[in-house]
């Protein structure tokens, strides 16, 4: 992209977007890769949920994922879970306040954005939940969008560093979640988790750019989309009834392998889905839910993310992943600008949990980022600093506050992640991800089933006393 094109593309964004992008240019130079464009904020969050590709024959390939997900599982009894990833290295420890190994405040927090921590610490989600800075945009965004429902939120910090500005970090929890039995009745996981998967690779997710992509995953595409609903149903029924010899003949044609898979598995289910009146996948059918995703001016916002959230909460899909760009913001060197971006992240997390409140469902939201930042003046974040990272986990239940024994797993020491081996997770974000999964299982009342999903991961399975802080109880 040429300099002139970069300048023109920036003009469509807000003043905060512009400041972050200008700071990115100063500290990193012109973005080149897609990940760099996302981290700089030039690709907005909605665009991070990329559009699906099309096969040339009969159907979008994601129809196969939709059918396979339902054929394999038929639903699950697990609590819905989504990940919100902040691309670029957000001020994770500038929002959630890390403690030392003894659970006490460190002597100083100046390098993570606070010159006066005693007067800046707050616990908005309960005394046993994680502590936050009074400047935390993430905490404020959650409170703004949830109101009184935020009383039923618990928060936990997982103290582990990660590599700055990289997609090589093992924050991907999807593989664990899939092994625990989380899968949709109609759709697969929604949204692409841009992190590396910790230990286990899940089935492919359906990339989502809008609700239309979810809808298209259970219909036919290309020229055949011109057919009406009845005609599409009849077409798929014909394919379903093909004889074995006819199927083999078709499979020899261009794209035949995909068509063969369609014949063997997908068509029967998709015939049923295509002719159904209401699949329960459309968020616009629920006025209360839509209101959560409406701004103060009455405009619908983040509709791709809303569609992902709606289907995850209703279990028509598996796990959801949302990626937000613009968190390589240390170049802006302006705390107000940085807090505003964090506020947007908090509002996203808050909207997910408020949606759960509207639908009367529990939910878990994890928040991750590739690296983190540090401060040179005790206020503004000015440099990349992956060893000052962490991940967050928010638990919500509509009828009670989840029981959390303490708000932190792992620890900090001298204003960086404590990598002492006794803490298990500090030097290994993959183990931190596994620890998050163990706490998710405890929230489901299924801690005793964790090992079946993690395999022989003794660092986790033999250290629940250090790593699991969520009470192991079934909350119904």
Q: With the CA atoms of 31, 32, 33 and 38 taken in that order, what torsion angle do they form, in degrees rounded to the nearest 10?
A: 20
What pLDDT shows up at residue 266? 41
Q: How many CA atoms lie within 13 A of 171 on its CB side?
A: 35
Kindly report the number of other CB atoms within 10 A of residue 214's CB atom.
Answer: 28
Kindly report the number of other CB atoms within 10 A of residue 466's CB atom.
Answer: 16
Three-state SS at 83: strand
DSSP 284-338: GG-HHHHHHTB-TTS-B--HHHHHHHHHHHTTSSS-EEEEE-----GGG--HHHH
Closest to 61 (Cα-Cα) out of 244, 253, 219: 219
CA distance 202 to 199: 10
Closest to 347 (Cα-Cα) out of 326, 324, 381, 368: 324
| Beta bridge partner(s), residue 369 | 86
Three-state SS at 54: strand
CA distance 61 to 304: 19
CA distance 51 to 211: 11
- CA 420 to chain centroid, in Å, comes to 29
The count of residues in the chain is: 476
Pair 400, 152: CB distance under 8 Å:
yes
CA distance 464 to 468: 5
**What is the SS3 string spanning 399-436?**
CCCCCECCCEECCEECCEECCCHHHCCCCCHHHHHHHH
Closest to 195 (Cα-Cα) out of 29, 391, 26: 391
What pLDDT shows up at residue 30? 59
Pair 150, 143: CB distance under 8 Å:
yes
The single residue listed with the structure tokens 């359906």 is 206
Task: Dig out the tokens for 54 from the structure.
Answer: 């099309």
pLDDT in tens, 423-437: 999 989 999 999 999
CA distance 97 to 116: 12
What pLDDT shows up at residue 226? 54
pLDDT tens for each residue of the chain, 476 residues long: 444 444 444 444 566 565 555 555 556 565 555 555 555 555 554 434 433 332 333 333 344 444 444 444 445 899 999 999 999 889 999 999 999 999 999 999 999 999 888 889 999 999 999 999 999 999 999 999 999 999 999 999 999 999 887 888 999 999 999 999 999 888 889 998 889 999 999 988 888 888 887 777 766 555 455 556 565 555 555 555 555 555 555 555 544 444 444 444 444 444 455 455 567 888 999 999 999 999 989 999 999 999 999 999 999 999 999 999 889 887 777 888 888 999 999 999 999 999 999 999 999 999 999 988 999 999 998 888 889 999 999 999 999 999 999 999 999 999 999 999 999 999 899 999 999 999 999 999 999 999 999 998 999 999 999 999 999 876 55
Kindly report the number of other CB atoms within 10 A of residue 36's CB atom.
Answer: 20
pTM of the model: 0.80
DSSP run (H or E) holding 259: helix 256-261
Closest to 393 (Cα-Cα) out of 476, 318, 467: 467
């Amino acid at each position: 992209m040429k300099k002139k094109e970069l300048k023109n593309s920036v003009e469509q964004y807000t003043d905060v977007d512009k400041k972050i992008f200008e700071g990115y240019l100063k500290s990193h130079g012109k973005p080149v890769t897609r990940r760099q464009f996302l981290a700089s904020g030039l690709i907005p969050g909605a665009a991070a949920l990329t559009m699906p590709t099309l096969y040339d024959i009969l159907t979008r390939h994601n129809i196969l994922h939709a059918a396979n997900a339902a054929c394999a599982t038929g639903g699950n009894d697990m609590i819905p879970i989504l990940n919100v990833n902040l691309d670029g290295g957000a001020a994770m420890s500038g929002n959630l306040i890390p403690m030392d190994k003894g659970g006490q405040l460190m002597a100083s927090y100046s390098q993570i954005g606070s010159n006066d921590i005693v007067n800046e610490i707050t616990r908005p989600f309960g005394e046993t939940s994680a502590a936050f800075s009074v400047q935390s945009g993430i905490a404020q965004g959650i409170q703004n969008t949830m109101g009184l429902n935020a009383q039923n939120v618990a928060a936990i910090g997982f103290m582990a560093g990660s590599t700055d500005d990289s997609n090589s970090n093992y924050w991907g929890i999807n593989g664990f979640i899939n092994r625990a039995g989380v899968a949709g009745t109609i759709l697969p996981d929604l949204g692409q988790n841009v992190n590396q998967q910790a230990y286990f690779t899940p089935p492919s997710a359906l990339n989502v750019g809008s609700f239309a992509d979810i809808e298209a995953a259970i219909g036919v595409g290309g020229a055949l989309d011109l057919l009406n609903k009845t005609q599409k149903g009849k077409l798929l029924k014909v394919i379903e009834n093909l004889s074995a010899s006819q199927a083999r003949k078709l499979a020899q044609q261009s794209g035949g392998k995909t068509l063969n898979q369609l014949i063997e598995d997908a068509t029967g289910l998709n015939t049923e889905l295509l002719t159904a009146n209401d699949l329960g996948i459309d968020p616009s059918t629920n006025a209360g839910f839509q209101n959560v995703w409406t701004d103060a001016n009455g405009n619908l916002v983040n509709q791709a993310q809303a569609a992902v959230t709606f289907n995850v909460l209703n279990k028509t899909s598996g796990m959801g992943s949302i990626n937000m760009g613009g968190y390589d913001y240390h170049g802006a060197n302006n705390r107000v600008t940085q807090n505003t971006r964090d506020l947007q992240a908090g509002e996203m997390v808050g909207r997910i949990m408020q949606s759960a409140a509207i639908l009367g469902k529990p939910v878990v939201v994890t928040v991750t980022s590739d690296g983190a930042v540090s401060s040179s003046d005790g206020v503004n974040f000015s440099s990349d600093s992956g060893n000052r990272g962490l991940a967050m986990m928010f638990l919500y239940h509509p009828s009670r506050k989840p029981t959390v024994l303490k708000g932190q797993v792992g620890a900090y020491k001298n204003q960086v992640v404590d990598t002492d081996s006794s803490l298990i997770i500090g030097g290994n974000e993959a183990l931190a991800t596994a620890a998050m999964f163990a706490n998710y299982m405890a929230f489901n009342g299924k801690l005793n089933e964790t090992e079946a999903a993690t395999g022989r991961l003794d660092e986790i399975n033999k250290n629940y006393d250090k790593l699991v802080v969520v009470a192991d109880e079934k909350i119904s």
